[in-house]
Amino acid sequence: MKPSKIALTLTAALWLPLSALAQDTTTPTDDTDDNAAQTNEGTPPAADQGLSTGEPVVQGNEVGQTYTQEKNGDWELRCIRTEEGNDPCQMYQLISDDEGTPVAEFSLFRLPEGNRAQAGATVVVPLETALQQQVTIAVDGGNARRYPFSFCNQVGCYARIGLTPEDVSIFKRGASATMTIVPALAPEQKVALPISLTGFTATFDKVSVLDPNR
């Protein structure tokens, strides 16, 4: 593909000042050197005139952007930047399999008082998951609870979980939890994913209270 006339014109315009300087081969006299030194004293170099050196961009300051405020153990406190400055925060953990490959995500927020559930959680698993088998979570090998999937999109399949005060207490006291899902292509198999509970209590106490109905 040949370059367009517009591209050639822009290129010529950008390089014209430098090329013009490079083509000036006139040898100045001693008087000219003295006059140039006096004239250019205190003047920025030609390469700096009219050019911007840019300004630093601080990542995470844009409204609506997610950032990690702090990390406690294996849990992150993830917040969303708002104009008002009262950034809502959830606790988050990326869950990997035994080989260290990221497989699922677990995020949790607190609910307003008066609800049966004290906290809400969102679990995201791969698209090739047997939805009818649901997702099972057990803490320290105790009684497991099964939760249905709500929907899927291009990212994965989502389960929206409600945790009662008793559930939250079990998570706080526990050392680890296990999330179990079933692959759609291998329904006879089960994939057990470990969820670390290290730092759960410290992070939960700083999570924002959110109303999912708003």
Whether residue 91 is found in the same domain as residue 185: yes
pTM of the model: 0.69
Number of domains in the chain: 2
Residue 25 inside a domain? The answer is yes
pLDDT tens per residue across span 133-176: 999 999 999 999 999 999 999 999 999 999 999 999 999 999 99
Whether residue 190 is found in the same domain as residue 93: yes
Residue 57 inside a domain? The answer is no
CATH number at residue 107: 2.60.40.1880
Cross-strand partners of 135: 147
pLDDT tens per residue across span 73-110: 999 999 999 998 889 999 999 999 989 999 999 999 99
DSSP 35-67: HHHHHSTTPPPGGGTT--------TT-STT-EE
Whether residue 18 is found in the same domain as residue 106: no
Residue 125: domain span:
66-204
